[in-house]
């Protein structure tokens, strides 16, 4: 038995073109065999997550499969509900629907849509999806959607799909507590975790939600005893890039890393990648990610679960030339 036992553990599998379908198949099957509870597939640019989850439903039997996350601006709520109902059937009730607002620039430049009132659109989207999945006919006149006598009918029979909302800041965490079954945190910062969980649970309780709330969070992960310096450099470079994304920049600043964000952005604007990387402090790295031997990473995971994180979702970031190796090392280190 592996000595690094975690009660619940998820794995984020990037829709990365560097991973072949054979690679993804091997990763997910091994994660299932290793006792991971769930696999989460993100969607931004490149490949979509839905078709991949449909494929994974055919090669797995027990592991949960979730979108982590599906941007709400790229599909209508009705299409999303139809998709969720079908994936619930295909996975034999192993599907989790993770939703989020995505990135403003992606919405505007790649999808050609208007990025307006993301909070209001999120609330309407979740409400419509829930009503459609109930199977009953309904109509709604909202700020963003006007729906007349819509229903999924028999397609919604016996559907059981938990809805997770991605959240970075307190406002969206509170809304997630009010309308979703779980929150999916990103760059899960240790120092903010306890406060975030309190906000979510308080909102969940006030909304009289009868389901037990689930707090999940992505943790960027590199497990190994080799290439540690290269891993830290790769991680810091990735963090530095977020200084150019307003939402993430604001989030990192709220976590106490304003100095790092200002320095990294200035360096990137001057095309000085080395200085941008050096701008990210070791303290910031340890707050929002974990790099090291299995024992070191285990300590970091248990630290977060002791603060109330229900579902740590390990998000390996590729360091080796063959990034599949980083996934397999993570799975092996924490096989349950």
In whole angstroms, what is the distance from residue 301 CA to residue 290 CA? Answer: 9
4: tokens are 């690094």
* Residue 226 pLDDT: 87
* Residue 215 pLDDT: 97
* Residue 107 pLDDT: 86
In whole angstroms, what is the distance from residue 11 CA to residue 263 CA? Answer: 32
Indicate the CATH number for domain 10-225+293-333. 3.20.20.30
Q: What length does the chain have? A: 336
* Residue 210 pLDDT: 66
Low-confidence ranges of the chain (pLDDT < 70): 1, 209-210
Q: Which of 41, 45, 38 is nearest to 54 (CA)?
A: 41
For 274, counting Cβ atoms within 10 Å of its Cβ (0-12 exposed, 13-18 middle, 19+ buried), the class is exposed
Could you read off the pLDDT of 150-181 as tens digits, one per residue? 999 999 999 999 999 999 999 999 999 999 99
Rg of the chain over Cα atoms, rounded to whole angstroms, equals 20
Q: What is the pTM of this model?
A: 0.96
CA angle, 18 as apex, 232 and 241 as ends, to 5°? 40
Give the sign of the dihedral formed by CA 282, CA 286, CA 287, CA 290: positive
* Residue 138 pLDDT: 94
CA 238 → CA 235, 242, 243, 253, distances in Å?
A: 5, 7, 10, 16
Q: Omega before 69 cis (within 30°)? A: yes
Note whether 119 and 172 are within 8 A (CB): yes
* Residue 106 pLDDT: 83
Note whether 164 and 182 are within 8 A (CB): yes
* Residue 287 pLDDT: 96
* Residue 1 pLDDT: 56
In whole angstroms, what is the distance from residue 317 CA to residue 93 CA? Answer: 29
Give the sign of the dihedral formed by CA 221, CA 193, CA 28, CA 129: negative
Domain coordinates of the chain in residue numbers? 10-225+293-333, 232-288
């Amino acid at each position: 038995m592996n000595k690094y036992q975690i009660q619940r553990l998820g794995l984020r599998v990037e829709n990365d073109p560097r991973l072949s379908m054979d690679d993804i198949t091997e990763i997910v099957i091994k994660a299932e065999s290793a006792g991971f509870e769930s696999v989460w597939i993100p969607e931004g640019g490149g490949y979509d997550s839905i078709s991949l989850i449909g494929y994974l439903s055919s090669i797995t039997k027990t592991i949960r499969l979730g979108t982590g996350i599906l941007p709400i601006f790229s599909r209508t709520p009705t299409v999303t509900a139809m998709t969720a109902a079908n994936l619930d059937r295909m996975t034999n009730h192993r599907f989790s629907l993770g939703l989020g607002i995505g990135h403003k620039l992606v919405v505007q430049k790649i999808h050609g849509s208007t990025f307006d009132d993301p909070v209001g659109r999120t609330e309407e989207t979740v409400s419509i999806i829930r009503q459609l999945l109930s199977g009953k006919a309904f109509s709604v006149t909202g700020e963003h959607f006007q729906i007349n006598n819509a229903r999924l009918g028999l397609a919604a029979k016996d559907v059981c799909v938990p809805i997770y909302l991605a959240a970075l800041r307190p406002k969206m965490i509170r809304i997630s507590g009010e309308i979703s079954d779980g929150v999916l945190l990103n760059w899960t910062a240790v120092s903010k975790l306890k406060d975030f969980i309190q906000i979510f649970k308080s909102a969940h309780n006030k909304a009289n939600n009868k389901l037990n709330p689930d707090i999940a969070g992505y943790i960027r992960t590199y497990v190994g005893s080799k290439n540690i310096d290269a891993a830290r450099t790769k991680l810091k470079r990735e963090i530095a890039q977020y200084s150019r994304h307003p939402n993430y920049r604001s989030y990192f600043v709220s976590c106490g890393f304003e100095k790092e964000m200002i320095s990294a952005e200035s360096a990137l604007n001057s095309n000085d990648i080395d200085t941008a990387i050096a701008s990210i402090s070791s303290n910031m790295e340890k707050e929002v990610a974990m790099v090291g031997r299995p024992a070191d990473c285990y300590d970091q995971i248990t630290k977060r679960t002791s603060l109330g994180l229900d579902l740590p979702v390990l998000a390996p970031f590729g360091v080796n030339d063959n990034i599949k190796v980083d996934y397999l090392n993570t799975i092996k280190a924490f096989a349950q």
